[in-house]
Structure 1
Amino acid sequence: WKWPKRGLIGLCTLAIVSTGMRYHSTYIRNLANYVYYGASSEQLFLTADYMYIIPAYRLTVYVMGIILGYLLREHKDIRLKQIYIHIGNVIALLSFIGAFLAPSFMGSYDYEYDPVEAAWYAAYAPILWCLCFAWIIYITHIGHKGYMAPILRNPIPKMWSKISYTVYLTQFPVYFYNVGTTKHSDEFDVIRKHLNFLELFWIIACSVLLTLLIELPSQNIRDWIFKKPKPPHNQIQKEK
């Protein structure tokens, strides 16, 4: 917060480096961030090792979160003109389409893996995805009413925001455990495979436990260590 210009330059530099690392690593290692027909388990595990486990490859979205936090703190009283709201909404919608729908051709049954296409997807998809939701969060925070405001104020999204990081940490161990313990062939069903309620239950349960037992206590310890000492009561009276 003390050096916004230098901090912004440094953060953007880190984000650019991280984006380049994702592109380069995906290209030379034939990683598959988008699961296509014919992707091998070795390719998917290697993708998880690099794209999800190593923090440097995820640094871009962390930087975007820090910048959003700065805007929410330092520019929360700004009022945007309606034309700027419309422009931002269009950009956010295009970002969502670019991240979610643009790579859908990779899901075709006849698709053949192309490392260049996979590398571009690994590089730009996290940026567009975060840009879309960062805009929604920002305009809601500064008071612009819209369709998303009631949804974001709902208790369920609020709870999800508290356990989202632990969900990120627990989902892969649960997925990999289920994959490793499956010893038989099965008929593929979209609804049954994507809505595995037992799997979802364990992910959410483990995430809640991690949040309550580790993350929140750790945050309290951090706040206690780094909190600013309050001035003495006598000093406050003198200043008044």
Structure 2
Amino acid sequence: MADLNLFPLFLSLRVAFTATLFAILIGLPIAYYLNRSNGRTSDMIDTIITLPVVLPPTVLGYYLLVLLGRQSSIGVLLEKHFHITIVFTPKGAVIAALVVSIPFLIKSARSAFSTIDPSVIQAARILGRSEWNIFFTIMIPLAWRGIASGITLAFARALGDFGATLMVAGSIPNQTMTMPIAIYDALLAGNRELANLLVIIMTTVSLIILYMINRLDKKTSLKSR
């Protein structure tokens, strides 16, 4: 039996959960804005948001290092005034996971918002409701299945990130080593038994998440008919 250390699993779950929480807080308002806007500004924002999906993970990780590294303006500011270090810490893993996963939530939420009958929203505006009130009491309740699907997909993407997380957080045992990185390190060390165990665990978790996404998509499709 391989010497199984479950720290990478618990760290991966914690990083994915935290990144998904921030994705919800940041992504839903962005999705709402993009659904309402059709100008060049919204097109530019949409392009920037989609960029992490198509960029190689190493390139994305490099950009994050340049932006948040200890020699960057933001890195110096955070370390000097707030004593916060991003690179090679769990915080860096969360930021990397957030950047790679938030596009999936925004895309799903935007699609869900677009299926809402505009007359319902217009009626709410006529009744004097504010945009924030409409967002929380009408948009989210009506689009919750699509939002839930996006949240699940974002969590899965954050859980499985490798390249950007390795670049920003590194692979420090019992500190920043997530499950994908632990699998990679086990293979490099020639410990195939440990690698197989970790792969089985990750595959099981991924299958559960994909099953949940498929169920939500089917329920959303049935509801829209």
TM class by shorter-chain length?
A: 0.3 to 0.5
TM-score (norm 2): 0.33
TM-score (norm 1): 0.32
Structure number with greater CO (CA < 8 Å, separation at least 6) is 2
The structure with the largest alpha-carbon Rg is 1
